[in-house]
Structure 1
Amino acid sequence: MLRRALADSDLRPLPSAASELLLRLSAPPRLAAHLRAVHDVAVQLTDWFSGRLPLDVDAVHFGAATHDIGKVVHVEELSAPGHRHEPAGRDLLLAQGIPPELARFAATHASWAEPGITAEDLVVSLADKIWKAKRVPDLEQLIVARLDGEPWQAFLELDDELDRIAAAADHRLAFQASYPI
């Protein structure tokens, strides 16, 4: 079932390092499906931000593909709220030899207002929200503040893109729900 979650659907495949990691850890299929959905949105976002916001695109893609990896340890957080997966995910990635600059996304994807948060952290956080059509004005404003040009124009353009991405949320939610925890 895990292999199917990693391969089925029209969603973009995860980076191979992320897929291999999920297989090695025997991740729950629903987690793999969730990571595929968020990663797919992150790719759309990085494409849209190209020329608008300097990003380490590979880092964003890997971060989106592994941001909830701590739910391998805290499986209960796949179906209930919780934050224990965040530090656990960072520690798990570090233990698997993932560099700290990539492992950090597991810990930062829900803490976008913390000091030192990068544009990459913000985009992973945004992908983790907009994949299911959840809008978070504070997070979006932090991104708008980093975009070039007039803030109101940047906001309108980002708003249009987020609406476009959110329109496919039902498809992504159905894909995730089709896999067991």
Structure 2
Amino acid sequence: MRRLVSELYVRDICHAFKAMVLVWIQLPMWIFMSVALRNFTTGAAHSESHSIQEQLASGGALFFPHLTALDSTWILPVSLGVINLLIVEIFALQKSGMSRFQVYVTHFVRAVSVLMFPIAATVPSLLVLYWFCSSLMGLSQNLLLRSPGFCQLCGIPPTNSDSDTPYKDFLAAFYAKFISRK
């Protein structure tokens, strides 16, 4: 079995470590950026950060004009939670016949996404805006990498599980799972 797995890694130029590298780089980067942005909003970084804090206090837009304050409208926290749940559901809907462990992990990630609603409502708007933009980029990348035209343009070879109509398939699966339950 090990020999077959090794041959597959060599043949497809795909090692399990390559998939984990992104997590080991992206997760610490997300944490460090979140802590740095929080420090900017509280003025805890350096003496120069007070001028940055003043700029953030008047540098927002639309419904969050004060980036160091909480989002009283809850638009950013709710948007963040919805996008995170959408990412989870995209992965869950593409998997069929998940193992018990995969089902538990999916439920756990759903719970974390729901837990992000109140957490995001208790931190400065700048931090929630960063989390929202990060999640929005993740969702965009997931949807873009499902596009056969984009994959062909980038030279990404199709796999057996790829669909010619991924967005229609996703909407049909979403409709069947959540809307037409009777």
Larger radius of gyration: 2
TM over 0.5: no
- Name the TM-score, length of structure 1 as normaliser: 0.30
- Name the TM-score, length of structure 2 as normaliser: 0.30
Structure showing greater relative contact order (alpha-carbon pairs closer than 8 Å, 6 or more residues apart): 1
More helix by share: 2
